Amino acid sequence: MKFGNVNAFDRGWIVGNFEPSLFNSQDSDIGILRIKKGNISDGHHHKKHVEYNIIISGKVRVKNKILVDDDIFIYEPLDESHVQFLEDTVLLVIKNPSTKNDKYYNKI
């Protein structure tokens, strides 16, 4: 048996093609992200992977829609990330496939 803590990982990213990770995967990246109330995402997008966001706890606004615990929002490639965090929020984020250097700020 082994023990650990999520806070030992980089910004909550626990599985993927990076270190440290619980286990290395080239298939998906998985993170448990904690975002403070008042944060607004930076509008980035990805070209290669789909990003699945599951709200474990909290409240966000995405495309003028209010989402709460247990709600899911999914970014397809080229969808811009515009999230306003209305409460401290915990997200389970899954990116598939695992891709390095796939973060862009201007749509093509």
- pLDDT beyond 60 at 108: no
Bond prior to 97 in cis (omega within 30° of 0):
yes
The position carrying tokens 């615990």 is 69
Please report the domains of the chain, with CATH numbers, ordered by start residue. 7-96 (2.60.120.10)
Tens of pLDDT, residues 36-95 = 999 999 999 999 999 999 999 999 999 999 999 999 999 999 999 999 999 999 999 999
Considering the entire predicted model, what is its pTM? 0.90
Q: Angle at CA 45, nearest 5°, toward 71 and 107?
A: 135
What whole-number distance in Å separates Cα of residue 94 and Cα of residue 30?
Answer: 5
